[in-house]
Structure 1
Amino acid sequence: MPKPHAPRPNRRPARLALPLAAAAAAAVLAACGKQDAIDPELSASLIQPVARLEVQAVTVAPGSRTGEQIYTSLCAACHDTGAAGAPKAGNADEWKPRLALGLDGLTASAIAGKGAMPPRGGGSDLTDTEVKRAVAYLANKAGAGYTEPPVEQ
């Protein structure tokens, strides 16, 4: 007599699971290429307080700067370090031959430019009086004792 076959297990759930898993994987992969739904304008407005930079130009009335202000903003870069052969601020030995020219001679030299120093020390908006103030301030650091022209109110 023929042997009866053993009952086969129901494979129907397994047959359905594989196509469902493949469809889910395809849906996930299809979503990977989509752009995020973030509005660039909204994003920019949200980061604005952190990323905002405001630049304001500070204008100074010609003739109103002190010698120290001019020295700090224009002259110190070279005269504090001795760059490009500039005599160092406060070094009496380097300034001695220059101080022999007197305040007017030094001022004329600074207005015209000397060596690597451009005319007016690079401050093309400086008045002659402002140059004289800066020269007096710098020379006084080396012991000159010049009187800096006053700033007119």
Structure 2
Amino acid sequence: MSEAPHGAPIKTPGQLIAAIIAGFAVPIVIIILLAYYVDNTTRTGAGTDELSTEQVAARIAPLAQVSVHDANAPRVYKTGEQVYQAVCAACHASGAAGAPKFGNSGDWAPRISQGFDTLVKTALAGKGAMPPRGGTSPDDYSDYEISRAIVYMADHGGANFQDPPQPAPAAAAASTAPASGADAAASAQAAAAAAAIAAIPKESAAPAAGGAGQSADASQAGKALYQQVCQACHAAGVLGAPKFGNKDDWAPRLKDPMDKIYNYALHGKGQMPPKGGSSATDDQVKAAVDYMVSAAK
């Protein structure tokens, strides 16, 4: 069985001319469209803006930032609204994780009925999904500022609380964090020592101490300075200080010559500041060292 002969697709001169024109025109149109597409497409890739001012500044920015504060400047407390906006709104604005929604009296009524003190304790200690202090630290916001935020939120939920009284300057420093255990004892002793430093005689100087042969005046001066400053740590052995009168604590220290022991007391060692943090004279400090050494022999 024979097959029928295949016919050529181009049978006329017009078809030939059309095929030739299409062979040139179609690739040209495709190239033009690709060029247009590439030119009008926003290209983003590595290195396209790496030399811009913003990118260079971001690369050379330091990892740490230094914030300098004047320790003697009066503290400016945040308002309840400011603390709420910075910390509490993350959950209380929408009522996330079961938090009473801001301005919703139905959510706040059972909390308000517990009283202001209970609300503050809950905020400081945390409850349920809420972390203590809303996830902040005492260095970020004091107890007083947290209390003001409680008043702000509760009052918008139907309460009629008043802002707590602003703490006195001395109390403000002590109330930034609740201390416990050894930290509380150390803080109390440090506060007592700071108060005692102010009472140290500034003008009178005891005669130079000389160990076992120190004079009665030097001994009294050493005892006075010990009671005013040194005992804050040495009476109980706080922060690794050799305990007053404890021979075992003092034995390793007494292996060194007295000049070296004096040098530790005058210039500080470990967590002990120079002169115990006082402004006593060198002779007074040496007399206090002699007084403690005598008690440990």
| TM-score class, shorter | 0.5 to 0.7
- Mapped to 2, the partners of 1:95 and 1:131 lie a distance apart of 17
- 1:136 match: 151
CA distance in 2, matches of 1:140, 1:96: 11
> Greater relative contact order (Cα 8 A, min sep 6): structure 1 or 2?
1
- The TM-score, its normalising length taken from structure 1, stands at 0.60
Q: What is the SS of the residue equivalent to 2:122?
A: helix
- Report the 3-state secondary structure (helix = DSSP H, G, I; strand = E; otherwise coil) of the residue aligned with 1:149: coil
The residue matched to 2:94 in structure 1 has which SS?
coil
Q: Who is 2:99 aligned against?
A: 86
Which position in structure 2 is the counterpart of 1:28? none
Superposed CA RMSD: 3.1
Whether the aligned pair in 2 keeps the contact of 1:66 and 1:151 (CA below 8 Å) is: no
Give the number of aligned pairs: 109
Q: 1:59 & 1:143 partners in 2: Cα distance? A: 41
Equivalent-residue separation in structure 1 for 2:75 and 2:135 (angstroms): 15
> Relative to structure 1, is the Cα distance of residues 59 and 115 closer, same or farther in structure 2, using a 3 angstrom cutoff?
farther
Partner in structure 2 of residue 75 of structure 1: 88
Residues 109 and 158, structure 2, Cα contact 8 Å, conserved in 1 = no
Q: Counterpart amino acid of 2:133?
A: R
Aligned counterparts of 2:156 and 2:84: Cα–Cα separation in 1: 11
Distance in 2 (CA, whole Å) between partners of 1:148 and 1:100 is 17
Distance 1:62 1:98, change over 3 A: farther
Q: Per the alignment, in what secondary structure is the counterpart of residue 115 of structure 1?
A: coil
Q: Find the aligned partners of 1:70 and 1:101 in 2 and give their Cα distance.
A: 22
Closer/same/farther in 2, CA of residues 91 and 151 from structure 1, 3 Å limit: same
Q: Percent identity?
A: 45
Aligned equivalents of 2:98 and 2:68: distance in 1?
A: 31
